[in-house]
Amino acid sequence: MAGMSVPSSPGNAGDSRGDTAASEAPSRDVGPCVVQVNVSAGGVPKQPVPAAFVTRLGLRGDEHQDRTVHGGPFRAVCLYSMEAIERVRSEGHPIAPGSVGENLTLRGLELSSLHAGDRLAIGDGPVLEITTPADPCDTIRGSFLGGRIGRISIRTHPLDTRLYARVLVEGTVRPGDPIAVLPPLPESDLPTHLLLDRFDANERAGMLLSWRSAVAGGVDVRVFDDGELAMAATPSVPDDNFNLALGLRRIPHVLPDVLSFFAVHGVSGWVMAAEPPWPGAVATHTGSVLVARPDEVRDVPPVRGLSIRRVEPHEALAWEHTVVEGFGFEGAVADAWNAAAPALARDPRMHLFLAEVDGEPAGAGGLFVHHGVGGLGPGCVLPAFRGRGVHAALIAERARTAGALGCDLVTASARLDGPSERNMVRRGLRRIWTRCLYRWDPADPEAGGEGAIA
């Protein structure tokens, strides 16, 4: 996020309350304050209201048209400043308070001076925590000449971007409320969630590639890809990898859509979540998320007879056969992964590694590179070669390659406290999160079907 310095707390800027409109905002010398509170039933412009109660999921009475890219606990409140509006408007753009979808229009506070984790205490009501910039989307194109929404993108105009915030303390907000800027909480878990954002983006893109590669290989995978929500339903392959929904950590409010997707396609589906996503949900297993910088991943002593080499696309099936055997896949699951292998290997983001001991296949690993993140997966060792350091060597080799390819972060997922996670921790990756895989069966209420969530 753009940011220069965290301003000191401005203190109490007054006790004014009421229906102050943006055009009648308090003068600049009274300190940072709210000049307009905005909500809508979906879409823009958001309309001013005299007050709104701010909950953990946003302002009551406010909705979003595109729920897969807006809303959720980390984008509960959208902030924008009158200073930015006035700069953009001076160039002839028809922008106005609320027209670009912000919930709170502020004055006296340059948002570009804030960093992720900074807090805003608003009057005697809510306390917000800055999370991420708000990327512009086509919904707000009417506020810009020629629909040039990039005019408020942080990538090109960091001074004039909007910001998202999550809600630490709920409460009522009104025009005229003063704003105090507070430093980050030392115990905030926001830095962890920002790392998880990068992990999630890599995992999501990697799974979409796997599903689409299976489709290219003739497997009937029904893929849904919209915003931060990615889902697959594969009636012929009763496996969690092919009947899975990703994205609920940031957009838990779309859970009904996820369960409907599985029901429509007649499959038992799985979702990843840190807590039970519906009453009575039972986890099939618990996993961990691990991260490290590439240079933090320790090398391994030489393993006798071991060599690790990159696999070319024409060797994809041999590589996949090793993966299938290493993970113990059988039947339709094995067939689906074998069908996906050729297209998977041709994608330039996917790098395949084969470990051989004395020329014999001993293990395999993948490295998926996406937006500066190297995702370590899949990775396995054949039973006859376990316990020799092959898996550790595959971890180190892929991390080294990720660094050479310009990644500043390597990520992985593994069974909690399993041998794979223990190997990764010994190599220098650290666990930052735990999550569970929950199975939803539309035909079985006791397994989380419709009867369990009614």
In the predicted model, is pLDDT for residue 368 greater than 60? yes
Region 333-337 average pLDDT:
97
In the predicted model, is pLDDT for residue 16 greater than 90? no
In the predicted model, is pLDDT for residue 120 greater than 70? yes
The packing angle between helices 331-346 and 190-216, to 10°, is: 100
Distance CA(189)–CA(372), nearest Å, equals 22
Confidence of residue 445 (pLDDT cuts 50, 70, 90): low
Domain ranges of the chain: 22-186, 194-447
What is the per-residue pLDDT for 450? 42
Least confident stretch, 215-219, 408-412, 440-444: 440-444
Region 128-136 average pLDDT:
96
Residues 6+ apart with CB under 8 A from 247: 68, 200, 204, 227, 228, 229, 230, 254
Please tell me whether residue 427 adopts helix, strand or coil conformation.
Answer: helix
What is the per-residue pLDDT for 68? 78
What is the per-residue pLDDT for 453? 30
State the DSSP H helix or E strand holding residue 32, giving kind and residue range, or none if neither. none
State the DSSP H helix or E strand holding residue 194, giving kind and residue range, or none if neither. helix 190-216
Q: How many residues can be counted in the chain?
A: 454
Q: Write down the mean pLDDT value for the chain.
A: 91
Give tens-digit pLDDT for 412-444: 999 999 999 999 999 999 999 999 999 999 887
Q: How far is CA 175 from the centre of its chain?
A: 32
pTM of the model: 0.89
What is the per-residue pLDDT for 305? 97
In the predicted model, is pLDDT for residue 138 greater than 70? yes
In the predicted model, is pLDDT for residue 409 greater than 60? yes
Same fold, 22-186 and 194-447: no
Residue whose structure tokens are 């003068």:
27
Distance CA(142)–CA(415), nearest Å, equals 48
CATH topology of domain 22-186: M1 Pyruvate Kinase; Domain 3 (2.40.33)
In the predicted model, is pLDDT for residue 3 greater than 90? no
State the DSSP H helix or E strand holding residue 89, giving kind and residue range, or none if neither. helix 82-89
The packing angle between helices 419-427 and 390-404, to 10°, is: 50
What is the per-residue pLDDT for 14? 31
Region 209-220 average pLDDT:
98
Q: How far is CA 206 from the centre of its chain?
A: 13
What is the per-residue pLDDT for 307? 97
Give tens-digit pLDDT for 41-92: 989 999 999 999 999 999 999 998 777 778 899 999 999 999 999 999 999 9
Residues 6+ apart with CB under 8 A from 273: 248, 249, 252, 435, 436, 438
Helices (H), 250-389: 255-264, 316-327, 331-346
Torsion sign, CA atoms 439, 190, 375, 226: positive
Confidence of residue 139 (pLDDT cuts 50, 70, 90): very high
For residue 115 the two structure tokens come to: 């960093």
In the predicted model, is pLDDT for residue 285 greater than 60? yes
What is the per-residue pLDDT for 164? 97
Least confident stretch, 18-22, 114-118, 252-256, 396-400: 18-22
**CATH class assigned to 194-447:** alpha beta
